[in-house]
Structure 1
Amino acid sequence: MPKSSKPLTWVDQELTNDNLPKNIKLNIELLLGEEDLKPKRKGTELPKRSMNAFFIYRKALDKELKNRGYYDLRMREKVKLAGMLWKSENREVKEICQQLASKAKNLLEQELNSTTNYFTPTSQPESSFNDYVWYLMCTNQFSEESINEKKERLRTNAKASVKLDASDSSSSMDEENFDESFNWRRMYMKLSRPISFVAKDRGVLWLDTADGIVNTHHWKTLDCDESEYGKVVFLDYVWWFDVWGNIPNVLPGIYDVIWRFKVNPNFRLQNLQFVTRVLEVFNEKLELKHGEPIETQTTHLMNSKIFELIAEGGNWVEYCLPYQITIPEERVIDSVRIPHSVEYRLYNHEDIKRGLWIDYVRLRIHKDDDEEEELEDQHRHIN
């Protein structure tokens, strides 16, 4: 199919200013070859065919990833993954990528603007390919320290599980068995999920001990079928109110901060202060050499009338704080990647507080940061 000789105004401006998103450039390179990105002469830029090729390719990639079980990835991660896989030296991975690009090219030739039947897989997912994909996702988005810390925690939990099942003589968990059964997809899900269960992390002043014996007249840990974790914290009564926690390894993006709680309609709560801090995680050597890490803090004083409305309903609510937090791209200092964590806090040191259940704090991608919608808008703009 001959290329269009008429350059698009939007594409022309974006490429001239070098503002075309890197993921679009990357995928056009993968699909059409690097030569198609080079202007033939000054003043001519990327033709419409190349832009349509990208969107056809993106649809095919999305279908392929879903077929292989990657339901949890956002579009920006899928696009980044495409580049990482393409550059891989793994023969099996390269063959799969080449087949995918070839099918996308054929689809482009058949129908530039087709919106259905983009890709029908012909083979079952290969376990080695899947494991390699999740390994790449982990190592390219999270620091080695974070991965090792989470891996050690999974190993500890696995050993504890084996001890509980000691009646089974076949149960054993040595290092070799753990490494053989290690699942990189599970690791990625653990690292990338921005949620903190308060009953699990236990960042509550005057909370009972782990076995629920001491200080049960202030805060209690209760079993709860309505909680994903299975436990929540319950405030009986307290004067010095303080709840805090940390969500590590948060990926770049714009997030809403969500608190899930329930209020007893027989009691009133007021003047509770919500605090959210975004901070870089330095190790001691970096802090000594480069000073304090960058951090930002946002606060919100909740209106007592909102608590009253929540209490009247008598149900669990997800309360979205009236601001967003921005997690910037990671910096690299002295060849060390600097991850970001989000600290949260809810406190009040005045008056008696009673009748509050808290389940979790989580981060939700803000809809304005949805790259899928952004790219579709760009596609509509160039047509």
Structure 2
Amino acid sequence: MSGIFSKIPNEIVVKIFCFLPAKDLCSVSLVNKNLWSVTQDDYVWQSACDNQFPADYVSQELKKMINEEPISEGCNSDEQQVVNKTNGKKLFKRLHRHISFIAKERGVVWLDCQERGGNYHHWKTLEDSQSEFGKVVFLEHVWWFDVFSTLKAVAPGTYYVVWRLKVKLRQISLHDLNFYTTVVEKIEDSNEETIIHEYNHIPQRIMFTNISRKNDWVEYRLPYKLVVPEREVINGKLLYHNVHIKIYNYDGFLKSGLWIDYVRLRECDGSRVYEQFES
């Protein structure tokens, strides 16, 4: 290794890397071959998961990852768990994602798979080749509008909230939907949450009309910037932040004609241009 890292024992370098954010790890890997080699060590990524995320969240995502992986030929289930557990980089990527796939997460009231939905489902899950995930949700008709999602253990930073939508206006219109977002702090192994930031935005009615004129998917960026504070360790427990994202309207009028692909947190970037639909 060159520079200061050539004077530090390799084990210490690995320990330091375990506390670096993903972006910094990727930047370090570009310095030289030796540092690149260190960043490929699965121990670094596995330790980064343990150091930077609450234990219960790591455990949940690891179980999901194991269940989603096909069992390799000749491996029993215990062996397969060991194989999957060593893929720390993949696990870290899952933990660090700031996106929710609505159709998969099922955070929608009266979706087609819901109990007692009968043949009159208010929301439908549809396959869509233009979706990043292959499936979207479609609003057939509903009076009580409530779509929600939670992004867990979000890394500190400033973000835009971006919804990928498509609108088809009918005689029944969309309006007065509240795009509501909260940042909550939470201590690992605790069920209690404290709201520290709260954001509301009810778009102008022209917004839905303008999106419908596109007759295509659009990324609708909410006008506020979402601030997620630094994490802390308090009495040996990690204090981290979840983000709850929701669109709702409980007024008594029938709503219809909305497709939702995903909601995503995207780090603020002045060079990225978003289309405006409310001006």
TM-score, L = length of structure 2:
0.79
Mapping for residues 216-365 of structure 1, pairs under 5 Å: 216-267=120-171, 268-282=173-187, 287=192, 293-350=194-251, 351-365=253-267
Match of 1:334, as an amino acid?
A: N
Residues 235-293 of structure 1 show CA distances to partners (whole Å, capped at 9, x for unaligned) of: 01111111111011100000000001100143531111100010012356585xxxx63
Which protein has the bigger strand share? 2
Matches of 1:222 and 1:246, distance apart in 2 = 22
* Structure with larger Rg: 1
Give unmatched runs, 5+ long, in structure 1. 1-28, 35-64, 66-71, 83-99, 101-117, 163-167, 369-383
Which protein has the bigger helix share? 1
Mapping for residues 1-383 of structure 1, pairs under 5 Å: 30=4, 73-75=22-24, 121=33, 126=37, 129-158=40-69, 161-162=70-71, 170=73, 172-182=75-85, 183-209=87-113, 214=118, 216-267=120-171, 268-282=173-187, 287=192, 293-350=194-251, 351-367=253-269
Matches of 2:218 and 2:4, distance apart in 1 = 45
Does structure 2 retain, via aligned residues, the 8 Å contact 1:212–1:221? Answer: no
RCO greater where, 1 or 2, for CA within 8 Å and sep 6 or more?
Answer: 2
Secondary structure of residue in 2 paired with 1:147: helix
Match of 2:180, as an amino acid?
A: V
Matches of 2:191 and 2:242, distance apart in 1 = 16
What displacement does 1:178 show?
A: 2.0
Does structure 2 retain, via aligned residues, the 8 Å contact 1:258–1:320? Answer: yes
Secondary structure of residue in 2 paired with 1:229: coil
What displacement does 1:218 show?
A: 1.1
Matches of 1:203 and 1:311, distance apart in 2 = 24
What displacement does 1:348 show?
A: 1.1
Matches of 1:254 and 1:181, distance apart in 2 = 32
Secondary structure of residue in 1 paired with 2:216: coil
Cα RMSD of the aligned pairs, angstroms, is 3.4
What displacement does 1:229 show?
A: 1.7
Task: Give the equivalent residue in structure 2 for 1:41.
Answer: none
Secondary structure of residue in 2 paired with 1:341: strand
Secondary structure of residue in 2 paired with 1:133: helix
